[in-house]
Amino acid sequence: MIAIENKLITRHLGSQPYQETWQAMKDFTEQRDQQSIDEIWFVEHPLVFTQGLAGKPEHLLANTEIPIVKSDRGGQITHHGPGQLIAYLLINIRRKTFNVRSLVSIIEQGIIDLLATHDVTAVAKADAPGVYVDGKKIASLGLKIRKGCSFHGLALNVDMDLSPFLQINPCGYAGLEMTQCRDLGITSSVAELAPLLIEKLNQKLQYTQIESFINDQ
């Protein structure tokens, strides 16, 4: 019998409103117990700015019609929109014997390894979580830990309108430029990159049984 810590469920949810997905993550985390299987949710969101617990209002640079949601994740302000691969990691890190820093490193390395398969060299920065290509940010991270379990996760820019990032200081960094897979010659879609990202993340997460569900929360 496979131990519970070695099982993972992935859910490919398509386009979902941010606040409803956030509430679903909170509910899942609140209700789970030691026998709950870890999950990773893949999703795209309609246009939204999300502001983390450390977020400062001055990092929104202009009046905007895009909704702004104050979230309980770590970090500052960022932007989500169609064409961005979002993965929410609902993982019992205590059971996996990870800490927050090691989970952040696993996420960053998974994205770096994913991009490397497309001949794109990316790096992480110790003082600025996320993944960068030639100084431009391609992926953002934000996590929340409750009862030894993580939620929220990562956002990888794939093929999206980057212009809303100009209305903010992304992740609190003035003048930080953003980039995306399409501009680096990667033509794969969000749906095509999701299973490859799971493969790369799992090189460190080390689940031995992974079940996938499409558009099923």
SS3 content of the chain, % helix, strand, coil (to 5): 30, 35, 35
> How many whole angstroms separate alpha carbon 159 and alpha carbon 188?
9
- Kindly list the catalytic residues: 171
CA–CA separation, 26 and 141 (whole Å): 17
Task: Calculate helix-pair angle for 100-116, 190-205, nearest 10 degrees.
Answer: 130
Adjacency order of strands within the sheet including 149-157:
123-125, 128-133, 136-146, 149-157, 84-90, 38-44, 7-15, 209-214
- Report which of 148, 150, 121, 151 is spatially closest to residue 136, judged by C-alpha positions: 121
Q: Residue 185 has what DSSP assignment?
A: T
